[in-house]
Every structure is written in structure tokens, then in C-alpha cells.
Amino acid sequence: MTACTIDFEPVGRRGKCQRNESLLACARRLGVGISSICGGKGTCHACKVQVLSGTVSKPTSSELEAFTSQELKGGWRLACQTYPTSDCKLTVPPESMTTAQRTQVEGLEITVQLEPPVKAYRLQLAAPSLSAPHADADRLLEALNQQHQLHCGKVDIDTMRTLLPKLRSWNWECQAIVRNDEVIALVPWSNRQLGLAIDLGTTKIAGYLVDLSDGRTLAAKGRMNPQISYGEDIISRINGVIKSPDEGVRLRKLVAEALNQLSVELCTEANANAEEIVEAVVVGNTAMHHLFLGLPVRQLALPPFVPAVSRALDIKAHDLGLHIAPGAYVHLLPNIAGFVGADHVAMLLATEVWQAEGPVLALDIGTNTEVSLASNGRISTVSCASGPAFEGGHIKDGMRAATGAIERLRIADDSIQYQTIDQAPPIGICGSGILDALSQLYLAGIIDEGGRIMDNHPRVRTYKGQREFVLVSKKERDGHPAISITQQDIRELQLAKAAIRTGIQVLLETKGCAEEEIKQVIIAGAFGSYIDIANAVTIGMLPLLPLSCFQQVGNAAGMGAKLALISLSKRAEAQAIASRVKYIELASAPNFEQTFIQASYLGQYRIIDGRREEID
């Protein structure tokens, strides 16, 4: 059976594909980032591609459901369901791509006293002679301990391998980079010491290059997590690893490659070299942490959801496939539980929530939303399965925050006012736009509190057997298919917002705290930073509090990683936070189901004596 050549445009990637290999599998193999929320089951419709030339397998039932006959005639297919029967040229539309999307790196900055875990010491060594012929490594340690009153006892093996040529070519002058009692790198006198802080998210990766001598951020960049092509949510990725252990190795390599590329990009921007990076800190949710380290993940998907390790770790960068200074270490902050990881610890560290006196809520909204309630040094945390709806997943015309996504939306009588990312023509709707749409439809009386679309607006229609509200019509899109919010989309959004509000409610009830007592609500994460808070309150996702109580802090997990990079005290504080947090399993909370049902209705409300009471 001869292989076919597949040309993926506009990325311009071309490669061989066996006839029994799906277009999605081929794309993954070639490193073309195609979205795959369901992991290739044909249910999410996120992997749409257009076959421009060549022939492919007959449409499956999933594809007949996903496309009209006209779209199928136009070559539209689901990459996970389609197999080539000849050489093909494909277009991957922006909404199906996992790259070129908005990634957030900014967040609040805190000034701390510099206390990095590595220190540089300038040395002038005596050259060996016949009367003093002792070994280079011993000569180095002796000089270091004598000249700087240290007690260093070892030299990293990779550093030792290059010791001989370096010392001689630098005329016995060097800087020894020391971590605890180990020399981890040897560099010229003029070198800077750089650090790398990484927030390893399920969807996005944010990286920060930091000068360890003064704590300045020299460069910050984000990129998509390439593991997305193997399942958008963490459970799909874990299931993939359970089915095939090779998948775990592949996912680990993908992240290491992405981190290496990111560190090169950051260094290029700062006119530095990746080998100048002598320390790194990585934070992520527990599953991302485990996949990065190659730890087992099966147990994370099964009750009681136990992590393989929770405590902070220090691991040699080269053991993780990272190409920074060969002797450098990667510090991983502690995890809290199977679904509350080091990224939440970093967020609590950066926002200093744990020091709050009055009740403070801290949320990091994503496919999994972590919510903490802190008061007088006590912290309780829940993890809510909010799902991918607010990242555009499971939504008919949903997409991530990329060019052409509707990010803001208002309904004014019969017309829709919207704003797209990069002011490009609309191609779909991202999380902040989806939340706006839900709130606006509710305020305009087009959906009722139960989420049912009413037949009371010219933009409401029945299409493919279900009611939907047309945001941008086919005519308004110059003949392209309309962008709409369907009844099914609204159900997905209700589940997502109910999960978050239930988490808040359970925490309040567990702590015996009333909503009105909350002094502050801190919202972190990319989605949380772009949302319109008033709209989130309108649909009942967040409690009704004065808007001045809400603070959107951007990528606080990334900021926490930076703090842990430059301060040993902050690392100790992170460990103290992780041990202090009381994790509450949401599903086992009393009245969980009732609370969830109450939270799924739209509109502002409070729970009084266990009953939902609407607030006008």
C-alpha cells in the first residue's frame, strides 16, 4: 500500500501519510497543531479541515452530522475521521489551529528581596605545575572554598566534562555558579546568571526570562501547549496515556521541545544564550506536572485522585530534556491534590491571598477551575470541572482566543455589536464573547432563567433540528456559514458556570461564611482576565458583590513561578501554603447536587436557608 503525500496549508507542512492513518494522526506526527478536544472520537468537531485537492475516504456518520451536504461537497471534513486515498492538499482554518493564539503572560508584579538559589563566585585559580599537579576539579573546589569561605564538595558531572578546556582557554579566571554545595556551571567572568520561570498550562505555556542578579524580567512570551493535538482537556490526555504508554513518552517530549523552543525565543529577545540559564522553576496543574516528569497519571483519573508526588522537587534540567546550562536544576513547586496543582500554589503565593484577614476568594478559571477561600491564614480549596466551554470547546462555533474570534458582544434590538480579536472578520466566538452572549441573551429576555431559547427575536431560528440564536448571519459573513449560539451551547455554558458557582458556594458553606462577608474576589488566568465581570455576575457565575471587590490579576501562576525563581524564602512560603491548604472534594460535599442544580439557573441569586432566592 503506497503512502500518500499530504500538504497542510497555510502552515506549509508536507509529509507522508499511510492510507490507514487519519489526517489528524498524520498532522500530529508532522507537528501541525490541529485542535482535538475529544481526542479523535469525532464528537467535538474541533478538527475541521478542508480538502482542496486529492481524494479521501467516504464521510462517516460524525461528519454527516458535522457538515451540510454543501460543506461536504466543498471538501470540509473532520481530520480525525478522514483517511487519504491519494495525495492531498488541505487547508487548516484558524479556528482548528492550536497555534497563533493569544497567550497571556502579563500579571501583577511583586517586589521581593533577592535570594536566588544559585550564586556566582569569581575565581582566579593558580595554574597547575609539576610541584602542584592536582586535579582541575579539586583545584576549583579548593580555590572556591578558600577564596569565598564556602563548603562546596562537588562539581556537576557535565560541568566537570568541560572543565579542562574552559579553565585553560580562560587563563584560569572563571565564575563558579554554586547551588547549595555543588558547582553547577562554570562561566566566563563577564557572564550574566539567568533564570527561567514557566507556567505550564493545559492549553498555554507562559515563559519568563529573569536576570537573577537583580530580579528583572528580560523577556516574557507565551505559546500554545503542543499536547493540545492529543486532547484538549487533561482527561483525554490521561486516557491516551492509559491506552498506550508510548503516548506518555510522546507528550513528555512535546513539552520539553516546546520549553526548549520557548527558552531560545526568550534568549533571542534578551540577546542571551540558553546555556546562561542556570535555574528554572516550573509550575503547572498536577497532571501537567506528572506528564512533564514522566510520572504515572492513571491514578489521577480514578478516585481518590492521588498524585504520585506532592512535595516540591529539584531535578536536573538535562534529565527532563531541557537544554539550558547542563548542570542547572529545575525546581517544581508542590502540588496540593490530584486536581489542584503547583500552578494554584503559585497563584496563592503571588496574590498573597493566604495572608488576607477577611474572607478572600481566589479563582483560576480554566477547563478545571480551582477556587480557594482564605481567611485569617486558613485556606480551603476546591477543584471544579468547569470544562472547555469557556475556552470555546463543546460550543458549535466556539474557538480559542485567536484572530477573528468574537471577544466582546452586545445585543442592541435586532442588531449585534461585536468586537473581534485583531479586528479581523469574525470566524467564531471565544470564551469572553461566549460569556457576553449568554449574559446579553438573558438580559434581553431571549433566553429564560432555565436557559431555554424563546421564539421572540428575529435572530432566533430552528436549524438542524435545534433552536439557535444567530450572532452573525450568512449574509453578514458574505456567504460563509452563520455564527450562532445553539440551545446545546447554552446547556454546556450553564454546566460550566454552575460548576464554578457550586465550588464557591460549597467553600462558603464549609467555612460558615456568608457571601456578603467576602472582602475581595481575585480572578486569575487568561479567560478570567478578559471577561466582563458584570456579565459573569449577571448570569450568576460569580456572586453579587460590588464590582470594586473584584480584581483581575492576569497570569498570577506565572508571577508566582517568578517569585519562586528569585527567592528561596518564597519557595519555603509556597511549601507552607501547600501544607496549609485544606482540600475539599466537591462531589462529596453535603447538598452538592442541590447546590449544582440551583447554580445552573441563570440570574443573580443568593442561597438563603438552603434555598435559591433571586436578586433583582
Q: Which residues bind ligand FES (CB under 6 A)?
A: 24, 36-38, 40-47, 78-80
Q: How far is the CB of 15 from ligand FES (least distance, A)?
A: 19
Phi, psi of 293, deg, nearest 5: -85, -10
Nearest to ligand FES of 78, 490 (CB atom):
78
Q: How far is the CB of 231 from ligand FES (least distance, A)?
A: 8
Q: How far apart are CA 249 and CA 197, in angstroms?
A: 23
Q: How far is the CB of 32 from ligand FES (least distance, A)?
A: 13
Assigned C-alpha cell, 23: 489526517
Nearest to ligand FES of 80, 384 (CB atom):
80
Nearest to ligand FES of 81, 432 (CB atom):
81
Residue type, 101: Q
Q: How far is the CB of 50 from ligand FES (least distance, A)?
A: 14
Give helix 487-511 / helix 431-443 axis angle, nearest 10°: 90
Nearest to ligand FES of 79, 438 (CB atom):
79
Residue type, 519: K
Q: How far apart are CA 448 and CA 441, in angstroms?
A: 9
Q: How far apart are CA 32 and CA 91, in angstroms?
A: 11
Write b or e for each residue in 130-164: b if 16 or more Cβ atoms lie within 10 A of its Cβ, otherwise e: eeeeeebbebbbebbeeeeebebeebbebbbeebe
Q: How far is the CB of 319 from ligand FES (least distance, A)?
A: 33
Which helix (H) or strand (E) segment is 119 a member of?
strand 118-124
Q: How far is the CB of 82 from ligand FES (least distance, A)?
A: 9
Nearest to ligand FES of 24, 599 (CB atom):
24
Residue 97, classed as helix, strand or coil, is strand
Q: How far apart are CA 369 and CA 462, in angstroms?
A: 33
Q: How far is the CB of 59 from ligand FES (least distance, A)?
A: 12
Q: How far is the CB of 253 from ligand FES (least distance, A)?
A: 21
Nearest to ligand FES of 370, 391 (CB atom):
391
Q: How far apart are CA 379 and CA 176, in angstroms?
A: 41
Residue among 184, 220, 191 at smallest CA distance from 205? 220
Q: How far is CA 411 from CA 51, 414, 482, 493, in A?
A: 36, 7, 16, 18
Q: How far is the CB of 75 from ligand FES (least distance, A)?
A: 16
Q: How far apart are CA 197 and CA 560, in angstroms?
A: 9
Nearest to ligand FES of 226, 543 (CB atom):
226
Residue among 606, 599, 561 at smallest CA distance from 386? 599
Residue 338 zone, left/alpha/beta (φ > 0; ψ -120 to 50; rest): alpha
DSSP assigned state of 603: S
Q: With contact defined as beta carbons under 8 Å apart, do 176 and 120 qualify?
A: yes
Residue 160, classed as helix, strand or coil, is helix
Nearest to ligand FES of 80, 504 (CB atom):
80
Q: How far is the CB of 549 from ligand FES (least distance, A)?
A: 39
Q: How far is the CB of 232 from ligand FES (least distance, A)?
A: 9
Nearest to ligand FES of 42, 296 (CB atom):
42
Q: How far apart are CA 56 and CA 220, in angstroms?
A: 42
Phi, psi of 7, deg, nearest 5: -110, 110
Neighbours of 544 (CB within 10 A): 13
Residue 159, classed as helix, strand or coil, is helix
Q: How far is the CB of 96 from ligand FES (least distance, A)?
A: 9
Q: With contact defined as beta carbons under 8 Å apart, do 577 and 345 qualify?
A: yes
